[in-house]
C-alpha cells in the first residue's frame, strides 16, 4: 500500500505511516481520544506514541414520542473517522503480512525437521552397510 493512501495520517504528522504498530481509542465527555503507537526501534526502551483529541459534533436528534421533541446527541468528527479508517487499513495490512510470515516460518521449521530426520535415516542406513 502506498503512503499516498494515508493522507490523513500524513496531515497528522506521520511522515512514514508504516511505522505505526497499533492504536487505541476512547471517548472522554465530548472528546474522542486517539492514541497511536509506533514501532520501537532497536535500542529504545519504550514505544513511542502520539495522542490526538478530536472534539465531537453536537446535534439535536428528533425523538419519536415523549415529552421532548429533540434530544441532544454527539457525533465523531469526520476527520477522526478518516484517521480511524486509514489506521484500520494499515493495521489489518500488517496483521495479514504477520500471519503470512508466521505461516511461512512454520512451514520452514517443518521442512527443517523433515530434512533432519531424512539425513539421520540415511546416516543410519550407511552405518548398517
Q: Say what the pLDDT of residue 73 is.
A: 84
The average pLDDT across 58-87 equals 86
Q: Say what the pLDDT of residue 67 is.
A: 76
What's the mean pLDDT when you consider all of the chain?
A: 85
The average pLDDT across 62-74 equals 80
Report the C-alpha gap between 107 and 103 in whole angstroms: 6
Residues 70-104 as b/e (b if ≥16 CB within 10 A, e otherwise) read: eeeeeeeeeebebbbebbeebeeeeeeeeeeeeee
Is 1 a residue whose pLDDT tops 50?
no
Select from 27, 80, 22, 87 the least CA-distant residue to 48: 22
Q: Read off the pLDDT of residues 17-46 as tens digits, 9 standing for 90 and up.
A: 888 888 999 998 889 999 999 887 777 776
The average pLDDT across 92-110 equals 78
Q: Say what the pLDDT of residue 4 is.
A: 66
Amino acid at each position: 500500500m502506498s503512503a499516498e493512501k494515508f493522507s490523513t495520517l500524513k496531515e497528522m504528522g506521520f511522515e512514514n505511516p508504516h511505522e505505526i504498530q497499533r492504536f487505541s481509542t476512547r471517548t472522554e465527555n465530548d472528546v474522542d481520544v486517539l492514541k497511536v503507537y509506533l514501532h520501537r526501534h532497536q535500542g529504545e526502551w519504550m514505544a513511542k506514541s502520539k495522542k490526538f483529541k478530536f472534539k465531537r459534533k453536537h446535534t439535536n436528534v428528533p425523538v419519536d414520542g415523549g415529552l421532548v421533541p429533540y434530544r441532544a446527541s454527539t457525533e465523531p468528527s469526520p476527520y477522526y473517522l478518516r484517521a480511524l479508517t486509514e489506521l484500520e487499513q494499515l493495521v489489518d495490512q500488517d496483521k495479514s503480512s504477520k500471519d503470512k510470515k508466521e505461516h511461512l516460518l512454520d512451514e520452514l521449521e517443518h521442512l527443517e525437521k523433515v530434512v533432519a530426520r531424512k539425513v539421520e535415516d540415511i546416516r543410519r542406513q550407511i552405518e548398517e552397510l
